[in-house]
């Protein structure tokens, strides 16, 4: 029968306590309990783990979004077999189709939250826009629109990505969708001439907070990047010669590489390996 004892269920068979083996794990002689610290804080023997496939599905989806994991990661039959045989027999495989639908659902929830936040915001917002190009097998362009603003209660800078869509979608629709028509303070693009034209169209449609001469700024990082690229072109031949030496000396001669490691160790520095595939 089952009777209550110290707020823990105890099985009794023929008048004898039948969990003596389990109780021995609460003693300090058990190596597992030792690793857990104070035995008084360990989980009671009668505690039950509740398995819920819906909770696992939600956790997998949020984990996939957070770390940028491939959507078909949990389709791997080896992973499913390990989870079912070694961790939880009741686990059901979460397919990429399910994760895709859940990801779109969570994206919609997050989007509505950002839209509501911009509707109630009491400050101005600055926009940054850049274009991301996909691989050669799928030649498409995606504009990325990011918003920046200062929280007036804490004076902390905030930012949110509000668009990452195909180039066919106009930027003005993004501004309207997030209630930013009369809240734009400044817009930053790179130096492409079409971006300057796009900024003028935005100014014509939405009333800027200040004069248009202050609202459009060119990205300083992009300007520096262009200058560095022009400078590298001047010494390109020297860079190619240096890369060929690194490949010939460090890539093919193990003895030379070992001498380099010992020398670096002798002067207390890290023996970094050259990355020959970086410009």
Predicted local confidence at residue 147, as pLDDT = 92
CA distance 189 to 186: 10
Q: What is the pTM of this model?
A: 0.56
Q: Where do the domains of the chain lie?
A: 49-120, 123-207
Judge whether residue 43 has pLDDT over 90.
no
Predicted local confidence at residue 40, as pLDDT = 42
Task: Kindly indicate the confidence band of residue 260, based on its pLDDT and cuts at 50, 70 and 90.
Answer: confident
23-37, 75-89, 103-117, 206-220: least confident range: 23-37
CA distance 258 to 238: 26
112-116, 128-132, 176-180, 265-269: least confident range: 128-132
Average pLDDT of the residues of the chain: 75
Judge whether residue 248 has pLDDT over 80.
no
- pLDDT of 192-220, one tens digit each? 666 777 777 777 777 666 665 557 777 78
CA distance 140 to 173: 19
CA distance 12 to 14: 7
Predicted local confidence at residue 266, as pLDDT = 93
Rg over alpha carbons for the chain, rounded to the nearest Å, is 30
Predicted local confidence at residue 136, as pLDDT = 60
Q: Measured in whole angstroms, how far is the alpha carbon of residue 217 from the centre of its chain? A: 28
Q: Which residue has the tokens 């195909």?
A: 166
Percent of the chain whose pLDDT exceeds 70: 70
């Amino acid at each position: 029968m089952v009777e209550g004892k110290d707020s823990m269920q105890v099985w009794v068979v023929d008048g004898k306590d039948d969990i003596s083996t389990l109780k021995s794990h609460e003693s300090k002689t058990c190596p597992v309990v030792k690793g857990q610290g104070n035995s008084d804080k360990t989980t009671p023997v009668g505690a039950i783990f509740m398995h819920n496939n819906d909770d696992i599905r939600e956790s997998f989806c949020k984990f996939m979004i957070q770390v940028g994991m491939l959507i078909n990661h949990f389709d791997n039959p080896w992973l499913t077999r390990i989870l079912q045989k070694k961790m939880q027999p009741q686990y059901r495989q979460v397919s990429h189709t399910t994760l895709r639908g859940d990801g779109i659902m969570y994206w919609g929830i997050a989007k509505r939250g950002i839209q509501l936040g911009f509707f109630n915001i009491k400050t101005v917002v600055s926009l940054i826009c850049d274009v991301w190009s996909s691989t050669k097998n799928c030649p498409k362009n995606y504009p990325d629109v990011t918003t920046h603003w200062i929280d007036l209660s804490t004076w902390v800078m905030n930012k949110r990505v509000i668009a990452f869509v195909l180039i066919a979608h106009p930027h003005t629709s993004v501004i309207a969708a997030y209630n930013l028509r009369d809240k734009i303070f400044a817009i930053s693009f790179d130096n492409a001439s079409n971006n300057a034209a796009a900024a003028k169209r935005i100014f014509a449609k939405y009333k800027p907070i200040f004069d248009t001469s202050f609202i459009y700024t060119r990205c300083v990082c992009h300007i520096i990047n262009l200058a560095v690229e022009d400078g590298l072109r001047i010494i390109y031949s020297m860079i190619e010669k240096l890369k060929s030496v690194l490949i010939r000396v460090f890539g093919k001669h193990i003895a030379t590489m070992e001498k380099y490691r010992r020398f670096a160790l002798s002067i207390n520095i890290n023996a970094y390996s050259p990355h020959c595939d970086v410009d």
